[in-house]
């Protein structure tokens, strides 16, 4: 007999049995202030937040970090202060959604960007919208700049790996304490510096994760810092004979399109294989009596600088410092950050405050090839993040999924291609064998982490905030592709990309797994994925 109401029970004269009331999600959340204990951490905030709430971060007023984020789920927000040494601490946040048990009981650690210092709230709320309990941290200092490293080696250590490692452990401990069930699978995702953090985990502590999404990683860190300084020195400052304005870069961009867009058989402003593109800047050279103002041409000093920019960068004794820059980018992020007349804050902040501890040091006056050698010799706390033996990762059963935009103008995708091939040689494994635990997808038409002229939207870190992104089905996005690989053994052969322009999907392309090449079949609408195939 089924008794469906209290009235029914009374009518039938049955005993009334009430279950012990479960504390509500909200009160359980708020109780974390006193119920959750960790030796190295103190709870700062434990608050229930409903979907749609504007969560604000007044502590970011003094820096460039996000000032607010709109919650995409009903969550418990836990903010903690974690001590990592007598002279360093990390702010750690866990966003734990109500809807977790039915969504696979997963955790998601999110990665930082640049010189760290900003908690990746955007990626955290994206994760909670898919039912992940998301963890984020500030990488051991507030704000995306290098000053906090000054005479603070423990803060540098947090930035390089320790904040990630310890915040991950603390976050998981909090999640396991908060919910009735335990974490079933742990994931990581991050782009740029966050991509480097993902590879750091893959190289040094793969057991912490079941799946790692490492995007456009800032690995070969010393090489990247040196290349960014080098680009600034090639072009100099406004007024120098070698300097190019943004308008002139836009002209260079058109030149690259004119010279290289047809290589893949389709004129769409997208290069499927930028390594085949060898820009010839002499095409823009002014003839006698010609000028930029009258003829939109460039001087031989400018043309020489562009030619040097598109070369690989070699150091003392012919060592490769950094593969060459990608020849095409829409967003001109490189111009804005590294060669637009101001030295990259990324290089300058690292050299000044982490490497030399000398605020008077500057890229403009002091950078040369010996800077790179010294940085490499120190390799502070293993920041290069370029170990090519991933045996521990393989043995742990952890999956590593990577993608890198082929029009990334800040970190060349050739760097990730080189890393993949270095791993292959070091481990003596061909691609079909690496496939068991490491898969890499070059994404044409994607700039640095997000935006681009191609099918750049692949459902990865930093991408969700683009207009229209949340209306795209996340099930074939990079994050859930990773989950399906880990939990169901569905190993990805392609990575679906969408040409998301101004909030509208204008086309699709299924990006190929390296080393297969995206190849146009010769007929059909290039914005339809089936007009292309992956060829080895």
Ligand X SMILES: *[C@@H]1O[C@H](CO)[C@@H](O)[C@H](O)[C@H]1NC(C)=O
Q: Which of the residues are catalytic?
A: 192, 408, 448
Which token pair is 218?
């800032």
Residues in 283-322 at the binding interface with ligand X, rule: CB under 6 A:
none
Nearer to ligand X, 68 or 374 (CB): 68
**How many residues belong to the site for ligand X (CB under 6 A)?**
9
What is the DSSP annotation of 277-337? ----GGGGB--TT--HHHH--B-HHHHHHHHHHTS-EE-GGG-EEEPPPPS--SS-HHIII
Question: If we measure between CA atoms, which residue out of 339, 311, 314, 338 comes closest to residue 325?
Answer: 311
Query: Among 502, 523, 525, 536, which residue interacts with ligand X (rule: CB under 6 A)?
Result: 502
Q: Give the shortest CB-50-to-ligand X separation in angstroms.
A: 15
Q: Among 9, 376, 491, 501, which residue interacts with ligand X (rule: CB under 6 A)?
A: 501
Contact 83, 89 (CB under 8 A): yes
Site string for ligand X, 460-499 (x = CB under 6 A): ----------------------------------------
Query: Measured from the CB atom, is 76 or 155 closer to ligand X?
Result: 155
d(CA 401, CA 198): 10
Residue 395 token pair: 């043995």
Q: Which of residues 177-216 bind ligand X (CB under 6 A)?
A: none
Q: Which of residues 2-61 bind ligand X (CB under 6 A)?
A: 54, 56
Q: Which is nearer to ligand X, 154 or 388 (CB)?
A: 154
Backbone angles phi, psi at 120, to 5 degrees: -80, 65
Environment class of 283 (CB within 10 Å of its CB; exposed 0-12, middle 13-18, buried 19+): middle
Binding to ligand X (CB under 6 A) within 67-106 occurs at 68, 70, 81, 83, 89
Shorter beta-carbon distance to ligand X: residue 15 or 58: 58
- Tell me how far apart the alpha carbons of residues 464 and 110 are, in angstroms, rounded to a whole number: 13
CB of 377 vs ligand X, minimal distance in Å:
31
Work out how close the CB of 82 gets to ligand X at its nearest, in angstroms, rounded to a whole number.
8
Question: Least distance to ligand X from the beta carbon of 138, Å?
Answer: 10
CB of 491 or CB of 501, closer to ligand X: 501
Closest distance of CB 305 from ligand X, Å: 29
Rounded-to-5 percentages of helix, strand, coil across the chain: 40, 20, 40
Closest approach of Cβ 90 to ligand X, in Å? Answer: 9
Q: Give the separation between CA 494 and CA 205, rounded to whole angstroms.
A: 27
- Are 109 and 213 in contact, with CB atoms under 8 Å apart? no
Cis amide leading into 321 (omega within 30): no
CA–CA gap between residue 334 and residue 325 (Å, rounded): 10
Give the residue with the Cβ less far from ligand X, 195 or 507: 507
Rank residues 13 and 502 by Cβ distance to ligand X and give the closer one.
502
Q: Which is nearer to ligand X, 81 or 300 (CB)?
A: 81
Q: How far is the CB of 56 from ligand X (least distance, A)?
A: 5
CA torsion, ordered 136, 479, 485, 209, to nearest 10 deg? -10
Binding string, 356-375, against ligand X, x = CB under 6 A?
--------------------
CB of 504 to ligand X, least distance (A): 8
Residue 320, strand partner residues: 314
The rounded distance, in Å, linking the Cα atoms of 212 and 133 is 16
Among residues 101, 129, 228, which one has the least CA distance to residue 479? 129
CA pair distance 311, 141, nearest whole angstrom? 35
Bridge partners (DSSP) listed for residue 512: 494
Taking alpha carbons only, the member of 477, 463, 481 closest to residue 400 is: 481
Specify the residue, 467 or 524, whose C-beta has the smaller distance to ligand X: 467
Find the shortest distance in angstroms from Cβ 31 to ligand X.
Answer: 20
303 CB contacts (<8 Å, ≥6 apart)? Answer: 281, 282, 284, 285
Q: Give me the residues that bind ligand X (CB under 6 A), please.
A: 54, 56, 68, 70, 81, 83, 89, 501-502
């Amino acid at each position: 007999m089924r008794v469906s109401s209290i009235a029914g029970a009374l009518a039938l004269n049955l005993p009334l049995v009430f279950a012990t009331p479960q504390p509500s999600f909200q009160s359980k959340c708020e109780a974390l202030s006193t119920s959750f204990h960790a030796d190295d951490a103190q709870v700062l905030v434990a608050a229930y937040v409903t979907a749609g709430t504007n969560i604000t971060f007044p502590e970011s007023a003094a820096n460039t970090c996000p000032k607010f984020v709109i919650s995409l789920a009903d969550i418990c927000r836990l903010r903690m202060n974690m001590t990592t040494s007598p002279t360093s601490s990390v702010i750690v946040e866990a966003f734990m959604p109500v809807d977790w048990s039915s969504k696979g009981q997963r955790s998601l650690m999110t990665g930082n960007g640049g010189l760290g210092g900003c908690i990746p709230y955007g990626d955290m709320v994206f994760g909670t919208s898919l039912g992940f309990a998301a963890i984020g941290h500030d990488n051991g200092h507030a704000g995306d700049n290098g000053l906090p490293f000054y005479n603070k080696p423990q803060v540098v250590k947090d930035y390089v790996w320790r904040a990630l490692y310890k915040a991950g452990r603390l976050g998981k401990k909090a999640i396991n304490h908060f919910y009735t069930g335990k974490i079933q699978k742990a994931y990581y995702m991050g782009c740029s510096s966050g991509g480097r953090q993902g590879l750091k985990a893959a190289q040094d502590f793969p057991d912490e994760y079941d799946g790692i999404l490492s995007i456009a990683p800032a690995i070969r860190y010393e090489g990247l810092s040196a290349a960014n300084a080098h680009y600034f020195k090639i072009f100099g400052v406004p007024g120098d004979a070698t300097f190019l304005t943004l308008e002139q870069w836009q002209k260079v961009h058109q030149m690259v399109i004119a010279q290289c867009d047809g290589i893949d058989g389709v004129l769409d402003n997208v290069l499927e294989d930028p390594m085949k593109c060898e820009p010839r800047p002499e095409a823009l050279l002014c003839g006698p009596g010609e000028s930029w103002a009258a003829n939109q041409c460039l001087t031989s000093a400018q043309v020489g600088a562009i030619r040097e920019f598109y070369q690989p960068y070699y150091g003392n004794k012919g060592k490769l410092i950094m593969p060459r820059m990608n020849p095409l980018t829409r967003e001109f992020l490189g111009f804005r950050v590294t060669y637009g007349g101001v030295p990259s804050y990324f290089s300058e902040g690292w050299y000044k405050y982490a490497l030399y501890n000398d605020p008077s040091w500057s890229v403009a006056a002091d950078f040369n090839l010996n800077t790179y050698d010294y940085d490499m010799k120190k390799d502070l706390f293993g920041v290069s993040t370029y170990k090519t033996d991933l045996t521990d990762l393989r043995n742990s059963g952890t999956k590593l999924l990577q993608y890198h935009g082929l029009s990334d103008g800040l970190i060349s995708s050739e760097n990730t291609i080189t890393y993949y091939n270095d791993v292959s040689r070091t481990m003596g494994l061909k691609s079909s064998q690496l496939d068991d635990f490491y898969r890499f997808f070059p994404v044409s038409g994607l700039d640095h982490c997000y935006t681009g002229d191609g099918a750049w939207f692949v459902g990865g870190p930093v991408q969700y905030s683009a207009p229209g992104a949340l209306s795209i089905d996340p099930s074939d996005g990079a994050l859930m592709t990773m989950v399906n690989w880990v939990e169901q053994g569905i190993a990805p052969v392609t990575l679906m990309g969408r040409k998301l322009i101004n909030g509208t999907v204008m086309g699709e392309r299924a990006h190929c797994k390296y080393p297969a090449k995206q190849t146009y079949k010769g007929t059909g609408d290039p914005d339809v994925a089936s007009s292309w195939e992956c060829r080895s």
